[in-house]
């Protein structure tokens, strides 16, 4: 509980997360080597002395985890998904798990205090292993979370992924996770028709390899009723977060044109990272 209090009320104590975080930012150097550093993304304030600090926003099911995780591998910064932290806590037999299950399985948001506590622990563990920078996924989800994050550190870029709502629901219902390796897949074959001026959209399923196929599980909150509630909660609590970052000039809107094969190159292009992948693999 001390970690929550420290983060919610940043104190001048040298051991507070806020000061640890700032200290680590000022002393770490970017992992990306100078000669292959990507062009600064459109909205990024250049901070050559530290690593990327990005946020991914977007409705449940949009693919934040997929793209954040790919970028995390590309840029060498950790991908931190608060939903994963919550699920990890849920799967433990810790005192919080029963309380969390009730909230998460109804599609509601967990309290800011619990989220900050889980996030503080994750950041501190990462710092002790020498991690720097991050791509946050699923956080911040409320204006209060965004304001507190702003007090604690500086965010360079916020990517807001967008997809039509009927596709979001289908994607959530098709989502599967390998219970052994934790990798995510999607069994939905999406063919949404063009309507009301919106273009049609096709997405091939992302099927698991044979060794995962028999171990697939579905998230308890990926039922139609709960997904619809999560989408409602997103528009009530999280959409204002988009405006928060828009007013800071940090929001990059990105309409996903389709599945990973169409979207990934376009996203890299939008981030000015399109030639980075090629250069990086040439150096490796």
Active site residues: 64, 141, 175, 219, 230
CB-side neighbour CA atoms (13 Å) of 232: 9
Cβ closest to ligand AMP, residue 61 vs residue 259: 61
As a whole number of angstroms, the distance between CA 80 and CA 175 comes to 19
The least distance separating ligand AMP from the CB of residue 110, rounded to whole angstroms, comes to: 4
Cβ closest to ligand AMP, residue 23 vs residue 225: 225
CA dihedral 155, 271, 135, 68 (to 10 degrees): 150
Stretch 219-258: interaction string toward ligand AMP, x if CB under 6 A: --x--------x----------------------------
The least distance separating ligand AMP from the CB of residue 244, rounded to whole angstroms, comes to: 14
Which residues in 123-162 contact ligand AMP (CB under 6 A)? Answer: 138-139, 141, 145
CA distances from 114 to 8, 84, 98 (A): 11, 13, 13
Cβ closest to ligand AMP, residue 108 vs residue 164: 108
As a whole number of angstroms, the distance between CA 154 and CA 151 comes to 8
As a whole number of angstroms, the distance between CA 200 and CA 174 comes to 19
Which residues in 75-114 contact ligand AMP (CB under 6 A)? Answer: 82-83, 86, 103-104, 107-110
The least distance separating ligand AMP from the CB of residue 122, rounded to whole angstroms, comes to: 12
Q: Considering the rule CB under 6 A, would residue 115 count as an interface residue with ligand AMP?
A: yes
As a whole number of angstroms, the distance between CA 30 and CA 21 comes to 15
- The gap between the terminal CA atoms of the chain, to the nearest Å, is 43
DSSP 237: I
Number of residues engaging ligand AMP in binding (CB under 6 A): 17
Residues 6+ apart with CB under 8 A from 89: 96, 97, 100, 118
The least distance separating ligand AMP from the CB of residue 139, rounded to whole angstroms, comes to: 4
Residue numbers at the binding site for ligand AMP (CB under 6 A): 60, 82-83, 86, 103-104, 107-110, 115, 138-139, 141, 145, 221, 230
């Amino acid at each position: 509980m001390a970690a929550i209090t420290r983060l919610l009320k940043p104190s001048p104590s040298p051991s507070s997360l806020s000061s640890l975080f700032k200290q680590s930012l000022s002393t770490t150097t970017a992992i990306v080597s100078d000669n292959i550093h990507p062009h600064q993304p459109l909205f990024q304030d250049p901070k050559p002395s530290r690593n990327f600090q990005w946020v991914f926003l977007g409705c449940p099911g949009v693919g934040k985890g997929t793209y954040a995780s790919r970028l995390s591998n590309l840029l060498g910064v950790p991908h931190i998904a608060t939903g994963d932290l919550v699920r990890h806590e849920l799967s433990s037999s810790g005192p919080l798990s029963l309380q969390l299950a009730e909230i998460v399985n109804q599609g509601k948001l967990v309290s800011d205090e619990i989220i900050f506590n889980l996030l503080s622990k994750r950041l501190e563990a990462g710092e002790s292993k020498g991690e720097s920078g991050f791509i946050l996924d699923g956080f911040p989800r409320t204006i209060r979370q965004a304001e507190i994050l702003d007090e604690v550190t500086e965010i360079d870029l916020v990517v807001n992924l967008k997809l039509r709502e009927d596709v979001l629901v289908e994607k959530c219902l098709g989502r599967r996770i390998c219970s052994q390796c934790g990798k995510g897949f999607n069994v939905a074959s999406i063919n949404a028709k063009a309507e009301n001026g919106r273009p049609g959209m096709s997405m091939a399923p992302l099927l698991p390899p044979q060794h995962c196929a028999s171990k697939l599980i579905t998230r308890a909150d990926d039922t139609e009723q709960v997904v619809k509630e999560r989408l409602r909660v997103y528009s009530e609590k999280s959409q204002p977060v988009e405006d928060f970052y828009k007013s800071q000039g940090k929001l990059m809107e990105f309409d996903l044109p389709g599945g990973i094969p169409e979207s990934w190159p376009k996203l890299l292009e939008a981030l000015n990272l399109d030639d980075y992948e090629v250069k990086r693999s040439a150096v490796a």
